Structure 1
Amino acid sequence: MNLFEVMKDAFGPFMDGDKKPLHVGEVMNLWFYLHGTEQTLRYDQHAYNLAQDPELKEKIADIIENVHRPMINELTQFFKDEGIPLPDVGAEKVVGEFKALPEGARMNDEEIANLIAYNLVVGITSATRGITESVRSDVGYLFAKYHMMKITFSLTLKTLMQEKGWLRVPPYYITGKE
């Protein structure tokens, strides 16, 4: 079962024909999602420059090129088509090696991985809100697609974090009852 195909089949019949104007909640959710994704891309670019672990660098390149850039490109085009003003987020960050930064002045690989994981949780939660608050099927479809993209990536990141010992787990709750 391909989840994207299931979503397309579910939303497809409602996406044909004339579309009603976006309501203010849809515009707000879309605008904040694009803005948040643009900002997260900047953090990912910084993280790529600072990461030391080759597998982590590969994961960061993957999220930049296969998760965040496609979302940004698609949402930017959607905004232009709908006449929604684009958020001002500033220029992308340059790629480079910044090993000269002292150890305490830069994030280490564990911190980078956990920040990416946290940003994924925020993106998944925001996409869920977008799904539930959208009236137009095309908007719901976009948020559902982004939701699945982030969940899919999260699963692979979690595996890497477990292998490297970077996954931060809350304390176990033991009641004393058997």
Structure 2
Amino acid sequence: MGILSGNPKDEPMHYGEISSVWGSSTMAKGAVSCYQVYLNHAGDRDLKELISDYIGQATKEIEEFDRLLNDNGISPAPTMAEKPRVKLEDIPEGARFMDQEIAAAISVDISGGLVACSAAMAMCIREDIAALYAKYHTEKVILAGRILRLLKEKGWLIPPPLQIKRPVNV
């Protein structure tokens, strides 16, 4: 048996895994901070629910990634201070994110998260870390479906140019 053929949790992390896990934890911490602000700015009930779910998802990722880092003797990035709750009416209209802007930003974040999870899975040699990314990839796919439905239902989706005339097959 080789050095990497035992219990994956006993195997060392390679630098790519360390960088991916540390970066993922840090990005999730930034997402929680940013999404707390989005929650203050959102007016739509369905959007608020999705934001809350995303904060919960990111919080779960932080806990697991930081535990993995700590278990391997690596210090995670510090957690950001929690944002205070404010009433939507207290935010001046010109300074407020609109629901459509928030939904579009979430959609972009989820897309980037899917790509990051795929890249991390592809370079992992520790099965436990690859499985962790596979789990989060699946959860992000579910969130991506929810935000896409929300964008369509609310009329917030701005599609790229659509092919109206299709070539006729002879």
Is the pair's TM-score, using the shorter chain for normalization, greater than 0.5?
A: yes
1:49 and 2:40 are equivalent in the alignment? yes
1:161 and 2:151 are equivalent in the alignment? yes
Seen in structure 2, the aligned counterparts of structure 1 residues 140 and 98 have a Cα distance that, compared at 3 Å, is: same
Deviation at 1:56, TM superposition (A): 0.9
Aligned partner of 1:7 in structure 2 is none
Q: Is the 8 A contact 2:40 2:88 kept in 1?
A: yes
Q: Is the 8 A contact 1:15 1:137 kept in 2?
A: no
1:96 and 2:83 are equivalent in the alignment? no
> What's the TM-score once normalised by structure 1's chain length?
0.84
Q: Is the 8 A contact 1:130 1:140 kept in 2?
A: yes
Q: Is the 8 A contact 2:8 2:126 kept in 1?
A: no
Aligned partner of 1:26 in structure 2 is 17
**1:30 counterpart letter in structure 2:** V
- Name stretches of at least 5 consecutive residues in structure 1 with no aligned partner: 1-13
Q: Is the 8 A contact 1:50 1:99 kept in 2?
A: no
How far apart, in 2, do the equivalents of 1:96 and 1:15 lie? Answer: 51
Percent of aligned pairs with the same residue?
31
Deviation at 1:82, TM superposition (A): 1.1
Deviation at 1:98, TM superposition (A): 3.6
- Partner of 2:10, secondary structure, is coil
**1:91 counterpart letter in structure 2:** A
1:138 and 2:128 are equivalent in the alignment? yes
1:38 and 2:34 are equivalent in the alignment? no
- Partner of 1:99, secondary structure, is helix
Deviation at 1:128, TM superposition (A): 0.5
**1:136 counterpart letter in structure 2:** R
How far apart, in 2, do the equivalents of 1:143 and 1:54 lie? Answer: 30
Q: Which has the larger displacement, 154-163 or 17-26?
A: 17-26
Higher relative contact order (CA 8 A, sep 6+): 1
Q: Is the 8 A contact 2:8 2:127 kept in 1?
A: no
Aligned partner of 1:64 in structure 2 is 55
Q: For 2:119, which of 117, 124, 129 is the aligned residue? A: 129
Deviation at 1:163, TM superposition (A): 0.4
Bigger Rg, which one:
2
> What's the TM-score once normalised by structure 2's chain length?
0.88
Aligned partner of 1:76 in structure 2 is 66
Q: Is the 8 A contact 1:79 1:85 kept in 2?
A: yes
Considering only aligned residues, what root-mean-square deviation do their CA atoms show, in Å? 1.9
Q: For 1:170, which of 140, 160, 164 is the aligned residue? A: 160
- Name stretches of at least 5 consecutive residues in structure 2 with no aligned partner: none
How far apart, in 2, do the equivalents of 1:69 and 1:156 lie? Answer: 19
**2:78 counterpart letter in structure 1:** D
Deviation at 1:90, TM superposition (A): 2.4
Q: Aligned pair count?
A: 164
